[in-house]
């Protein structure tokens, strides 16, 4: 197990610069949007209004939000099967996300992708990917193209601890390091490869794998959005400045199961463990406490943000439920460009 670094020290006065106050309030807002979105997705599943399954990001919001807060709109990300949080944090709109999850025409992919394949080129999202580790090549290729074209866009490749078992990741990390590509590999270690604890599948220390390629490596508490932001800020800046790739390990936890249908989980993790993370390690509670302690936002301010997000989610899901399905004739459109 790698060392989890403590949060970066932050100023203790109540006079945090306005920019910083707004930044962390904005991150709270974004994390709440993701949390409420995912709760709504779970509800859609339980009430049989959503086709298929979904892999919920609840509990891991600080990673996507902390990292994406350091990115420009034209920077690239690739995401995973557990990707709703990445897409929203990079700028996707809630209503079109819901529409895609329901297979509706106004969805980001006109209903052709679904939960695991949301892509949105307008926000630099090159797509969630349902092959574990499958987007490592795409993210690295986007970074390669950026460098080759003399642009300063960076690419962030989000993946989970399960992807550490995939060979493609090591092939492209090798090339990223050789050619100093502006790509940041963000490993979200939520402890479980599906239903198996990562220590049963993954030898050695996780960060050593990136270090072996000479890749700049950092590790943070993935529940502390300020820590994630501070670490990502540094890694993104150095990648943008031409100093090459980085690997960021974020220790985190998924509050729900592997997917929405994974209800009985005690055979692979205890209720006590889940309870500990939900009550002691919830990134929303942790940031809320800090915002209160710093005098940036009181409970009523945070409640107001939650109400706003709730209203947005409710409007979004209504939009999606009311939206039309794609025309049947679209089934063989977009096979070829």
Which positions lie near another protein, rule CB under 8 A?
76, 78, 107-113, 117, 119-121, 126-127, 129, 131, 134-146, 148-149, 155, 167-168, 171-172, 174-175, 178, 333-337
Q: In whole angstroms, how far apart are CA 240 and each of 120, 121, 150?
A: 22, 20, 11
Instruction: Give the residue with the Cβ less far from another protein, 32 or 156.
Output: 156
Please report how close the Cβ of residue 277 comes to another protein at its closest, in angstroms: 32
Tokens (6 digits) for 136: 């490592």
Nearer to another protein, 1 or 337 (CB): 337
- What is the total residue count of the chain? 337
CB 299 → another protein: shortest distance, Å? 41
Question: In degrees rounded to 5, what are phi and psi of residue 326?
Answer: -65, 155
Contact by Cβ (8 Å): 156, 186: yes
Q: Which is nearer to another protein, 99 or 249 (CB)?
A: 99
Q: Name the residue nearer to another protein (CB basis): 322 or 332.
A: 332
| 141 Cβ contact partners less than 8 Å away, ≥ 6 residues apart | none
Closest CB to another protein among residues 27, 181: 181
Q: What is the DSSP letter of 183?
A: E
CB of 106 to another protein, least distance (A): 10
Shortest CB 137 distance to another protein, Å: 2
Least distance to another protein from the beta carbon of 332, Å? 9
Does residue 2 come out as left (phi exceeding 0), alpha (psi in the -120 to 50 range) or beta? beta
- Least separation in angstroms between residue 38's CB and another protein is 22
**Are 185 and 135 spatial neighbours (Cβ–Cβ below 8 Å)?**
no
> Could you give the residue ranges of the DSSP H alpha helices within 241-332?
271-280, 283-293, 299-322
Closer by beta carbon to another protein, 137 or else 283? 137
CA distance 142 to 263: 37
């Amino acid at each position: 197990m790698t060392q989890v670094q403590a949060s970066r020290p932050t100023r203790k006065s109540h006079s945090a610069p306005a920019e910083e106050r707004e930044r962390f309030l904005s991150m709270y807002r974004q994390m709440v949007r993701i949390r409420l979105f995912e709760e709504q997705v779970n509800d859609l599943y339980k009430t049989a209004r959503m086709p298929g399954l979904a892999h919920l990001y609840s509990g891991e919001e600080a990673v996507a939000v902390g990292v994406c807060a350091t990115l420009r709109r034209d920077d690239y990300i690739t995401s995973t099967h557990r990707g709703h949080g990445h897409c929203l944090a990079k700028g996707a709109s809630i209503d079109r996300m819901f529409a895609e999850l329901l297979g509706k025409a106004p969805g980001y992919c006109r209903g052709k992708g679904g939960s695991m394949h949301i892509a949105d080129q307008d926000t630099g999202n090159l797509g969630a990917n349902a092959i574990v580790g499958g987007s490592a090549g795409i993210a690295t290729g986007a970074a390669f193209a950026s460098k080759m074209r003399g642009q300063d866009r960076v690419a962030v490749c989000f993946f989970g601890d399960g992807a550490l078992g995939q060979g493609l990741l090591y092939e492209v990390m090798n090339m990223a390091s050789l050619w100093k590509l502006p790509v940041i590999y963000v490993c979200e270690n939520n402890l479980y490869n599906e239903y198996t604890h990562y220590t049963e599948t993954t030898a050695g220390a996780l960060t050593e794998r990136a270090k072996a390629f000479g890749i700049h490596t950092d590790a943070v508490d993935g529940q502390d959005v300020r820590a994630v932001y501070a670490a990502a800020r540094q890694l993104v800046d150095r990648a943008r400045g031409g100093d090459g790739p980085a690997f960021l390990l974020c220790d985190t936890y998924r509050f729900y199961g592997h997917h929405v249908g994974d209800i009985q989980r005690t055979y692979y993790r205890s209720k006590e463990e889940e309870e500990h993370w939900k009550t002691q390690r919830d990134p929303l509670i942790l940031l809320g406490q800090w915002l209160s302690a710093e005098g940036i936002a009181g409970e009523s301010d945070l409640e107001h943000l939650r109400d706003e997000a709730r209203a947005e989610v409710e409007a979004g899901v209504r939009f999606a439920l009311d939206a039309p399905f794609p025309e049947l004739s679209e089934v063989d459109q977009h096979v070829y460009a």
